[in-house]
Structure 1
Amino acid sequence: MRRRSFPYLLYLVLSEADCLEKNYLHVAEQAIIGGVDIIQLREKDLTAKEYIAKAQRLKEITDRYAIPLIINDNLEVAKKIGAFGIHVGNNDVPPTHIRKEWKSCQSLGYSIEFIEQLQSKETEAADCLGISPVFHTPTKKDTVTTWGIEGIAALRKLTDKPLIAIGGMNAANAEAALKAGADCIAVVSAICAAADPQKAAYELKNILLRNL
């Protein structure tokens, strides 16, 4: 078995909108209790001030449970709240810039949308790679490549960096993604839209643990 360099199995990506009628802080806490290992806050339409306020409230919860908090695509917010790390896409702040501007960043994630990115200095600067999306999902509309399980396997052969499978991931396909070479499964709707986020996280986590 390949040595795991990424200690997180179940990765929750959430925004207030993703949680539908539920409070995003409640969803996050219930997901942590259920087994989520790491959380990313993704808010695209807030001012920096609003994003910081929302992230600080979430960080109070993640800190209480010693869960790393990742900020999506906002270096100012990530630095201001002392987040564990940041995740960016191909059209966001470049990882090389983040390395220069935020020396204390503990986890720098970078989304891989096409295979040529693997040869870039931006990928080299990243700690982990988001395979985005594995399957089509309504939460991400500006996609370049839909990788599928076969795409995970192909990328696994080309890089030793930890791979985070995201996009349409759920209890039905999590096992296949791990077997193809993903180190971690990232979910949005599978937990955020669930009637019982704690139960959804628990069931997902147990699927992943059975397939280590």
Structure 2
Amino acid sequence: MSTTQNPPRQMMFQLSLRRRGISDQAVLRAMEEIPRDMFVEAADRAHAYRDSALGIACGQTISQPFVVAYMTEQLQLQQNHRVLEIGTGSGYQAAILSRLCGHVLTIERYRTLADRARARLAELGCDNVEVTLGDGFDVPADAGNFDRIIVTAAMEQIPDALAQRLKPGGVLIAPVGPHQGTQTLVRLVRTDAGFERKQLVDVRFVPALPGIAREL
């Protein structure tokens, strides 16, 4: 189970997000409600509420809280939205999304991460999240289209096949750039005329790789 946040740590966690420009009250509330210490490795629990990325199993990371909050805020979620997440990781981002939308389908290429995330999300009662072992570059056709798509690993470019899974008016957020280096968060909005693309902030994510991992 989660360790209990003491009030000063909880207050500083929220204050840090507000100081960095997170203003959506629903996002801030979700960040407060979801215990980040449940999603980090046991050795890192004392550092769970620092604004930094931390390592998890399979050589992956849990993103720093500001990046999670920022990407979530940029999605402009509504309670009826259906969301696709590429890269489940620890499950933390999916847990935040679950408080703000109707349904989350999250795809993870590492079985260990998918299984652990599924267990954590069930423990938290995130019943509107479906964790699937799969290839984020090859989303099953029967999964349908989505109001929002969030990619939590670096893509050298956004595949057109993924962008096409957005419903009209849909929004996609992804870190785009070289795998070894700095990427830029890109926000795509599907319009009647095509896609509006906006570059947001520089970030660093682990690479998004095709296929299902053979091990782990």
Higher relative contact order, structure no. (Cα contacts within 8 Å, ≥ 6 residues apart): 1
Query: Larger strand proportion, structure 1 or 2?
Result: 2
Q: What's the TM-score, normalizing by structure 2?
A: 0.34
Query: Larger helix proportion, structure 1 or 2?
Result: 1
